[in-house]
């Protein structure tokens, strides 16, 4: 908290040009942080339980039409029938 207060006091003493430069720097930090966060896929850091929960949540959001493929569609032999 001491660092935060010190930085706040220093910001109060800056002129407009310096404030614009600080704002640009803060924006670049945010962009860098976002790109680092978004480069790691969820599944790489998630535990097996978290991945399972994420999958179940995804499945629950699928369209529930009640329609399914007929049993013949799962029969490998039906692929070769003409």
The answer to whether 53 and 61 have CB atoms below 8 angstroms apart is: no
Residue 65 inside a domain? The answer is no
Residue 33 inside a domain? The answer is yes
Q: How many domains does the chain have?
A: 1
pLDDT of residue 15: 93
- On the question of pLDDT at 3 being above 70, the answer is yes
- On the question of pLDDT at 82 being above 90, the answer is no
Which residues, including other chains, have CB under 8 Å from residue 42's CB and lie 6 or more apart?
A: 51, 54
pLDDT of residue 30: 85
Q: How many CB atoms lie within 10 A of CB 55?
A: 11
pTM (two decimals): 0.39
Residue-number span of the structural domain to which 31 is assigned: 2-60
Q: What six digits make up the tokens of 40?
A: 């790691």
Q: What is the pLDDT of residues 6-48, one digit of tens each?
A: 989 999 999 999 998 998 888 888 888 776 666 778 888 899 9
Residue 78 inside a domain? The answer is no
Whole-angstrom Cα distance, residue 22 to residue 13?
12
């Amino acid at each position: 908290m001491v660092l935060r207060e010190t930085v706040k006091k220093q910001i109060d003493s800056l002129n407009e040009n310096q404030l614009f430069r600080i704002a640009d720097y803060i924006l670049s930090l945010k962009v860098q942080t976002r790109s680092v966060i978004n480069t790691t896929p969820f599944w790489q850091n998630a535990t097996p339980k978290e991945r399972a929960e994420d999958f179940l949540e995804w499945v629950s959001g699928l369209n529930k039409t009640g329609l399914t493929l007929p049993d013949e569609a799962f029969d490998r032999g039906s692929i070769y029938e003409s």
